[in-house]
């Protein structure tokens, strides 16, 4: 991390939910200390749910700062995914900056590391391809984002059990798509993502 971003406070950002049909886009921003290190951090997709939750708790304990932001389906429909992602990362970085200030004497963020393409939210922003498997602070952000969003989707499953959000987390499984065709979308669905599905539903009416 230091060899990539240099000295000072470094924040890693990552998102989850970009390709789902329902639920929010969730972005987390995490600044980790040089010591203590959180052993076992990796790309959240490579970890079991139990291990993710264990690591998320440890990350929250030792982090210099954490910021979490959700962009809701109606905002995604209105603004599009690219704009929503940039807004979410900017908000998450600002939330992390405030948390850093509350937890320590640090005055600001010196560098931002992102998994993926540039979003231009910081003057010292660096993008690392597959960074969630290479850089600890990005991996930590991926874990926090995944655990937070998964918990939210399980809460939505209680409200909308027919869509099976607890198991599919809003993604387009066959069971989920069948439920949309039968029942139509809920307010938690991204209508801009459902064009073909809704067209097929209408053809069956």
Is residue 3 scored above 90 in pLDDT? no
Q: What is the pLDDT of residue 5?
A: 56
Number of CB atoms found within 10 A of residue 69's CB: 24
- Helix runs in 66-161, H state only: 73-79, 81-103, 136-159
Is residue 205 scored above 80 in pLDDT? no
Q: What angle do CA 88, 89, 91 make, to 5 degrees?
A: 65
Is residue 160 scored above 90 in pLDDT? yes
Write phi, then psi, for 111 (nearest 5 degrees). Answer: -155, 155
- Which percentage of the chain shows pLDDT scores above 90? 70
- Token representation of residue 158: 């209680």
Burial 111-129 (b: 16+ CB within 10 A, else e): bbbbbbeebebbeebbebe
Residue 82, helix vs strand vs coil: helix
CATH number, span 2-153: 3.30.420.10
Q: 176-188: per-residue pLDDT in tens?
A: 999 999 999 999 9
What is the dihedral sign for C-alpha 138, 140, 145, 146?
positive
**Is 87 in contact with 31 (CB distance < 8 Å)?**
no
* CB half-sphere exposure, 24, CA atoms < 13 A: 21
CA distance 103 to 142: 21
| Bond preceding residue 36 cis, omega within 30 of 0 | yes
Is residue 19 scored above 60 in pLDDT? yes
Q: What is the mean pLDDT of residues 92-99?
A: 95
pTM, rounded to two decimals: 0.92
């Amino acid at each position: 991390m230091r060899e990539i971003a240099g000295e000072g406070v470094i924040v890693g950002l990552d998102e989850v939910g970009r390709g789902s049909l329902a639920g929010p886009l969730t972005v987390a921003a995490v600044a980790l200390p040089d010591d203590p290190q959180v052993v076992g951090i990796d790309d959240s997709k490579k970890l079991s749910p139990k291990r993710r939750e264990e690591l998320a708790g440890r990350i929250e304990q030792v982090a210099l700062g954490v910021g979490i932001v959700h962009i809701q389906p109606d905002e995604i429909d209105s603004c599009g995914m690219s704009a929503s992602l940039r807004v979410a990362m900017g908000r998450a970085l600002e939330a992390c900056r405030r948390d850093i200030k509350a937890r320590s004497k640090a005055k600001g963020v010196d560098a931002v590391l992102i998994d993926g393409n540039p979003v231009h939210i910081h003057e010292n922003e660096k993008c690392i391809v597959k960074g969630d498997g290479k850089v600890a602070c990005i991996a930590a952000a991926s874990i926090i984002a995944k655990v937070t969003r998964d918990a939210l989707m399980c809460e939505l499953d209680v409200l909308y059990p027919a869509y099976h959000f607890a198991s599919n987390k809003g993604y387009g499984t066959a069971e989920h798509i069948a439920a949309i065709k039968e029942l139509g979308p809920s307010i938690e669905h991204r209508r801009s993502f459902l064009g073909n599905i809704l067209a097929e539903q209408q053809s069956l009416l």
